[in-house]
Amino acid sequence: MYFLSGWPRRLLCPLQGPEPPVHIRTDPQRALFAVLAPSQLSVWYCRPSVLIVSYKELSKAASQFGPYKQAEWRPDSTMIAVSTAKGYILFFEIPSARDKYLYEPMYPKGSPHLKGTPHYKEEQCAPSLSLEMKKVLDLQASITSLQSMLEDLLVATADGFLHLVHWDGMTNGRKAINLCTVPFSVDLQSSRGSFLGFEDVYIRDMEYCATLDGFAVVFNDGRVGFITPMSSRFTAEQLHGVWAQDVIDGTCVAVNNKYRLMAFGCANGSVQVYTIDTTTGAMQFSHKLELTPKQYPDIWNKTGPVKLIRWSPDSCVVMVTWECGGLSLWSVFGAQLICTLGGDFAYQSDGTKKDPLKISSMTWGSEGYHLWVIDGNSSQNTKPDRDAKNEPQQFGILQFHFIKSALTVNPCMSNQEQVLLQGEDRLYLNCGDATQAQNPRNTSAHSEHKPTRERGPFSDGNLDSQGLSTLLGHRHWHVVQIHSTYLESNWPIRFSAIDKLGQNVAVVGKFGFAHYSLLTKKWKLFGNITQEQNMIVTGGLAWWNDFIVLACYNLNDHQEELRIYLRTSNLDNAFAHITKVQANTLLLSVFRDIVILFRADCSICLYSIERRPEGLNPTASVQVLQEVSMSRYIPHPFLVVSVTLTSVRTETGISLKMPQQACEAESIMLNLAGQLIMLQRDRSGPQIRDKDNNPNQRKHLPFCAPVVLAQSVENVWTTCRINKQKRHLLEALWLSCGGAGMKVWLPLFPRDHRKPHSFLSRRIMLPFHINIYPLAVLFEDALVLGAVNDTVLYDCLYTQTSAREHLEVLFPFSIVERTSQIYLHHILRQLLVRNLGEQALLLAHSCATLPYFPHVLELMLHEVLEEEATSREPIPDPLLPTVAKFITEFPLFLQTVVHCARKTEYALWNYLFAAVGNPKDLFEECLMAQDLDTAASYLIILQNMEVPAVSRQHATLLFNTALEQGKWDLCRHMIRFLKAIGSGETETPPATPTTQEPSSSSGFEFFRHRSISLSQSAENLHSKFNLTKTLSMPSGPSGKRWSKDSDCAENMYIDMMLWRHARRLLEEIKLKDLGCFAAQLGFELIGWLCKERARAARVEDFVFALKKLHKDFLWPFPVIPASSINSPFKNGKYKTAMGEQLLKSQSADTFVTMEMDTGVSSTPRSRSWLGAIGSSQREIDTASSHGPHMQDAFLSPLLSDECSIGSATDLTETSSMVDGDWTMVDENFSSLSLTQSELEHISLELASKGPHKSQVQLRPGYKPFLNIIKPQIQKLSEIAEEQVQPEAFQPVNPSKVTEQANTRAEESRTLISHGTNPQSDAGNSSASRHEEDKSKTEDEDSFQEGSYDCIVS
């Protein structure tokens, strides 16, 4: 509502050695401030905040009158009355020197600044005034209170008299009333009241209330009351007093005229707020303002008596200060907004406590943007050292700066979803980026930053809601500086409004108005200054599509008008639609295409507004629809806080024949001094509306008598949008009730959707508390938006010597932050309390798509659990079982329960699981639902609630399931968990986790300080702290029992489970999964495979295993070149040589490339696969050096259709060809002239390569496998070399034999070290089987198996 901004400002006094001020009082217009010192009266101006004139009393007169005490202004600001300590009243006249000004703004030459503006001097410059003492009145008794009452001055003296003094004829009009003769009673209905009955009773403080026509008083004995004249004559016989029975320690009083409230400060530090019961006239308690020990444990009962209470100019907030110092700001019905007795206001950055600011007097400035405060500390000690220097004295006047919600002065903003705050020279908006809001369907580059919600099928295109993340996107405000040209002549800003999409704002100052586009970043002002200065906006302003609607007073014609300006045209009366209005307009609001005005004659007028396209600039036309007189129900027009039109209705008298009327204007909502009154359309008469199609000509139904819906209402929110999915939220009425929190008037709908119109809609009022002050409601998103004051300390920037001087040390820097809160769980809970579970389900299902819906369920469960489980009294009808049953209706039930449990004290778990079910059953449900992360959370619950044997049993189940599903992170956590519970095994459940050391506190510390943002889903939240704390090794008593025996036993237990899983994978030939399993869990695969060579590692079906292997790694089968099939050389020798070349190209070089990629090479060879092609002929010719052992190893190609297996076509479908390979070929084509055979080799090599990902996966297992089978391969090659006939492999060029033989020997070693297929179960098992089956001496068979191993790549 109101928020502190920045640092306070200290005003400088230009006078030599002034006295410290003791009292400040503003004039009714809040432009001039009278400041009293003991013998001096000064008048200050508001903007600029400068001293205008000062009157210094002569020492002789000062000793006669005594020190000045209080001041009071005449209503027309032409006189000031000052009371003195010795019972004198001094009357000062303030004659204004015409056309003389103390300060004038200086502009450079040629500046177009406003020299010809009407009222220019008055607005721009501080006026030159003088003070003349006109009259002295001696009342011969100490004066305790001065109060201006219409044309009279009411003075209370310490001798128990009330004096009524006229401003003009002071002596003749003087009347004195003895308080002892005024009857007092509990209410005005009592036949005769009792008298005060004490001689020494007098009024300590009093204030006049115009809307109650009487004055609230505080007596010197602490009693409080209200004195009202029973007739127009103000005499003792005509006065009657009413007691407030419960207050006996009153100290001061302040009156709120708009809400008819009297706030009495008490000696115990609280403020009791009363109103007058209109039927009996008795004083009725409304609410109390007091600090709570929960919020302020150090200071709540040490504040001392309340010293001063001051209501703001718009009557929306009240400022309270105490004898011991400090400031506290409250909303009208008791929501606390600011308090300077805690936080950075009370403590320095090093933790030392500051002295609170003591205030001797304070008053609000214009529009509530400033609070002028007399610093009590500086009043007591002046600084004489400054007087010697001719410097301005730092006067004891502080100015606190405030920004406030637009709702305080322009309540028609309550149908918007934006938060708009206004300061004296700037606006604060929360609507984010206007360019995003412009296009609701925009999901382009910025969409991840501030996406906006798409229009729903049921929402009106023009009335679309802004996106959730646009309104919540970040904590910073969009600040719009108000145009200085407009501000100079029209300060202060009185009203502001923002359109529905948050793209345009309009502001109203003293005269005229201006508007600003967030898209173009430009202001529009009146081109003709005279037009601007001739209109005063009286009833606020509102946006209607592209038009600005406002009610104003035309100074030229002395006429009230309703004006509509088009945003896109120039700001000029020529483009405005102007309608004359009968009476002064106090409030204005827009609902769909209807404008509603509340006028000073207590009547409500409805206008229809219609857009008419005429030429370039469309115009809007206005037509009167209906007038409703409210004078019977409204005692004073100033009491109406807000008026709005809504589609809200009850079932009374609604016709069932016309369901389409549901979205029409059904009722008027009127906030009358905090009472919410509803006037509904009367449908009890004959229904003739639908016969006439023209909406403007048909007769409108009258309104029923008003009904009071709620009390203590500060703000009302409603929307005119329609969304059939979320009818509960969009057709509800939202109320802000100050300290009582919020209320929602919720419609109740039938479950049966087949007959939607046969049900008479009923409603229910549900109260709920929120932690922020609500400024806007996001209806579909179930969120309340608000703002909150935050502070930043800068005292460390200043040295201790100069610290006393700086306000930056005394006060923190105040900033305003955006905030929001979920309210859905409160409403669901209230419905469940009232046995409306079906309605709660309907509402919850309509909101189940919200991103924070899981958090809503969790909050509801948590709050009910905390309340009921910690209650000292037995609860007759507990709500927790109902809430638990309600949550089971949603799929997130299991997560909700476990998240709630982990954020709650261990002591409350039994109570929780007694309602929601046994955690063992819930754990098993998680396993059945394959929700392993949630099951892991339940495992922590079981660990704390059950004996270790049960924990191990469930942990084993979860571990096995996690292994099967490949949840490796969870597997690692489970291994640690199993080791941990094995190390500290006992047969009793562990003690409460809170008694353990922090290292094993089961993650509770995290939750005690949790701060979960709305955007965080439950899943993200869970994964963040998944088992990390609990699964660490325990410390403390359990850790001492850690021993090698239990360690070995647990390790054996875990290893057996790992072995069993690995054996199953190997038996099912899932080598890829086995590799992942080994890599992720650090499983010693090689050693285990050696042990399993005769068991799980045996291959029964080689062909199936080979195909499975290729399929697992998406690796293509070898492709046979056509030349080797159709060649005239059909003999086996050539075939073998070709096979060997093919083997090299597809096997060795592939893995050479792989090794090169990782920077690991087993030999110093550095040739690329392309380089192999150039020497292909050489390799064929010189195959004799190493080729013979391959002669019978090559598998003959199948010349039938089966050779299409693993073809190049399949490669493109099943494996991802690395783009880099093709690029390399393209680059090399320019420098190489390739033959057809070389091209064929390139294509063969590419076709035989698997995807890059498979290469990376195969790489880690390649070397270990090779090291195991290398001896067998070398043994085989030696046998093969002995059997071969050398003359079949003679080289073509004998001179190169030696050189090439050495090369081939080197390459042969490389081939052996690169040629095997990694992780090939076939190769490994065949090598091991060859060793075992030594009885088989057939070399050919052995060769077949060994060479088969080498080729699979």
User: Which of 43-47, 81-85, 870-874, 1145-1149 bottoms out in mean pLDDT, i.e. has the lowest?
Assistant: 1145-1149
Residue 1014 has pLDDT above 60, yes or no: no
> Distance between CA atoms of 1160 and 1263, rounded to whole angstroms?
11
Helix and strand tally (H, E) in the chain? 38, 58
Question: How high is the pLDDT of residue 230?
Answer: 78
Contacts of 166 (CB under 8 A, 6+ apart): 151, 152, 153, 172, 173, 174
Read off the pLDDT of each residue in 966-995 and give the average, rounded to a whole number. 71
- Residue in the structure block whose two tokens are 């469930």: 954
Find how far residue 751's CA is from the centre of its chain.
33
Tell which residue, 994, 991, 989, 992, has the closest CA to residue 1004. 994
pTM for this structure? Answer: 0.78
Say if CB 172 and CB 229 are below 8 A apart. no
Find how far residue 187's CA is from the centre of its chain.
48
Tell which residue, 641, 860, 651, has the closest CA to residue 737. 641
Question: How high is the pLDDT of residue 466?
Answer: 54
Question: DSSP strand E in 120-202: where?
Answer: 127-129, 132-138, 143-149, 152-157, 161-166, 175-178, 184-185
Tell me the two tokens of residue 1206: 């693993």
Read off the pLDDT of each residue in 954-983 and give the average, rounded to a whole number. 91
Residue 159 has pLDDT above 80, yes or no: yes
For the CA atoms of 155, 156, 160, 166, the dihedral, rounded to the nearest 10 degrees, stands at 10
What does the mean pLDDT of the chain come to?
A: 78
Question: How high is the pLDDT of residue 239?
Answer: 87
User: Which of 597-601, 1137-1141, 1244-1248 bottoms out in mean pLDDT, i.e. has the lowest?
Assistant: 1137-1141
> Distance between CA atoms of 924 and 930, rounded to whole angstroms?
10
Question: How high is the pLDDT of residue 979?
Answer: 87
In three-state secondary structure terms, 1043 is coil
Helix axis angle, 1339-1351 to 1252-1283, nearest 10°: 150
Contacts of 80 (CB under 8 A, 6+ apart): 34, 41, 43, 71, 72, 73, 74, 91, 92, 94, 131
Question: How high is the pLDDT of residue 668?
Answer: 94
What letter represents residue 1027's amino acid?
L
Helix, strand, coil in percent for the chain, rounding step 5: 35, 25, 40
Read off the pLDDT of each residue in 847-872 and give the average, rounded to a whole number. 95
Confidence of residue 656 (pLDDT cuts 50, 70, 90): very low
Tell me the two tokens of residue 203: 């009024």
What letter represents residue 1102's amino acid?
F
CA angle 830, 831, 834 (to 5 degrees): 90
Give the range with max mean pLDDT: 20-29, 745-754, 1024-1033: 20-29
> Distance between CA atoms of 446 and 430, rounded to whole angstroms?
18
Helix (H) or strand (E) holding 488: helix 484-490
Question: How many Cβ atoms from other residues are within 10 Å of residue 487's Cβ?
Answer: 19
What is the percent of the chain where pLDDT is above 70? 71
> Distance between CA atoms of 1005 and 903, rounded to whole angstroms?
9
Does residue 881 or residue 1166 have the better pLDDT?
881
Question: How high is the pLDDT of residue 910?
Answer: 94
Question: How many Cβ atoms from other residues are within 10 Å of residue 16's Cβ?
Answer: 9
> Distance between CA atoms of 256 and 332, rounded to whole angstroms?
9
Does residue 105 or residue 851 have the better pLDDT?
851
Contacts of 117 (CB under 8 A, 6+ apart): 123, 489, 529, 533
Question: How high is the pLDDT of residue 365?
Answer: 97
Read off the pLDDT of each residue in 1102-1124 and give the average, rounded to a whole number. 82
User: Which of 551-565, 647-661, 738-752 bottoms out in mean pLDDT, i.e. has the lowest?
Assistant: 647-661
Does residue 700 or residue 1233 have the better pLDDT?
700
With b for 16 or more beta-carbon neighbours within 10 A and e for fewer, the 231-267 pattern comes to: eeeeeeeebbbbbbeebebbbbbbbbbbbbbbbbbbe
Tell me the two tokens of residue 1218: 């690395």
> Distance between CA atoms of 559 and 581, rounded to whole angstroms?
8
Residue 808 has pLDDT above 90, yes or no: no
Read off the pLDDT of each residue in 421-432 and give the average, rounded to a whole number. 90
Confidence of residue 911 (pLDDT cuts 50, 70, 90): very high
Residue 1033 has pLDDT above 80, yes or no: no
> Distance between CA atoms of 144 and 157, rounded to whole angstroms?
5
Confidence of residue 345 (pLDDT cuts 50, 70, 90): very high
Question: How high is the pLDDT of residue 254?
Answer: 98
Contacts of 178 (CB under 8 A, 6+ apart): 160, 161, 236
| Residue 1222: φ, ψ to 5° | -65, -35
Read off the pLDDT of each residue in 558-574 and give the average, rounded to a whole number. 95
Does residue 166 or residue 72 have the better pLDDT?
72
Question: How high is the pLDDT of residue 37?
Answer: 94
Residue 887 has pLDDT above 90, yes or no: yes
Read off the pLDDT of each residue in 154-176 and give the average, rounded to a whole number. 82
Question: How many Cβ atoms from other residues are within 10 Å of residue 707's Cβ?
Answer: 13
> Distance between CA atoms of 187 and 665, rounded to whole angstroms?
41
Residue 291 has pLDDT above 70, yes or no: yes
Query: C-alpha distances in angstroms, 1164 versus 173, 647, 1273, 1313?
Result: 119, 85, 22, 13
Query: C-alpha distances in angstroms, 747 versus 732, 822, 840, 1021?
Result: 6, 19, 12, 34
What's the sign of the alpha-carbon dihedral 1289, 1294, 1300, 1305?
positive
> Distance between CA atoms of 1124 and 48, rounded to whole angstroms?
101
Confidence of residue 476 (pLDDT cuts 50, 70, 90): confident
Residue 1271 has pLDDT above 50, yes or no: yes
Phi-psi map region of 989: left, alpha, beta (phi>0 left; psi -120 to 50 alpha) = beta
Does residue 783 or residue 1272 have the better pLDDT?
783
- Residue in the structure block whose two tokens are 């029923």: 704
- Residue in the structure block whose two tokens are 């943002």: 1013
> Distance between CA atoms of 1173 and 770, rounded to whole angstroms?
77
Question: How many Cβ atoms from other residues are within 10 Å of residue 1290's Cβ?
Answer: 11
Read off the pLDDT of each residue in 939-945 and give the average, rounded to a whole number. 93
Tell me the two tokens of residue 1226: 């393209």
Say if CB 565 and CB 576 are below 8 A apart. yes
- Residue in the structure block whose two tokens are 């400041």: 35
Residue 1216 has pLDDT above 70, yes or no: no
Question: How high is the pLDDT of residue 923?
Answer: 96
Question: How high is the pLDDT of residue 807?
Answer: 81
Tell me the two tokens of residue 1061: 């899983």
Query: C-alpha distances in angstroms, 44 versus 359, 375, 382?
Result: 19, 16, 20
Residue 296 has pLDDT above 80, yes or no: yes
pLDDT in tens, 362-400: 999 999 999 999 988 765 554 444 444 455 667 789 999
- Residue in the structure block whose two tokens are 């955690």: 919
User: Which of 13-22, 185-194, 205-214, 1226-1235 bottoms out in mean pLDDT, i.e. has the lowest?
Assistant: 1226-1235
Give the range with max mean pLDDT: 228-237, 436-445, 770-779: 770-779
Three-state helix/strand/coil letters over 658-708: CHHHHHCCCEEEEEECCEEEEEEECCCCCCCHHHCCCCCCCCCCCECCCEE
Question: How high is the pLDDT of residue 985?
Answer: 52
Residue 908 has pLDDT above 70, yes or no: yes
Does residue 506 or residue 721 have the better pLDDT?
506
| Residue 948: φ, ψ to 5° | -55, -30
Read off the pLDDT of each residue in 538-557 and give the average, rounded to a whole number. 95
> Distance between CA atoms of 63 and 15, rounded to whole angstroms?
22
Confidence of residue 1298 (pLDDT cuts 50, 70, 90): very low
Question: How high is the pLDDT of residue 151?
Answer: 82
Question: How high is the pLDDT of residue 1251?
Answer: 85
pLDDT in tens, 826-848: 999 999 999 999 999 999 999 99
Question: How high is the pLDDT of residue 1096?
Answer: 84
Tell me the two tokens of residue 717: 């929110």
Contacts of 505 (CB under 8 A, 6+ apart): 420, 427, 429, 480, 496, 497, 498, 499, 515, 516, 518
What is the percent of the chain where pLDDT is above 90? 49
pLDDT in tens, 688-708: 544 444 544 556 788 888 999
Question: How high is the pLDDT of residue 302?
Answer: 86
Contacts of 1267 (CB under 8 A, 6+ apart): none
Q: How many CA atoms lie within 13 A of 565 on its CB side?
A: 24
Concatenating the DSSP letter of every residue in 253-274 gives EEEETTTTEEEEEETTS-EEEE
Question: How high is the pLDDT of residue 980?
Answer: 86
Question: How high is the pLDDT of residue 390?
Answer: 53
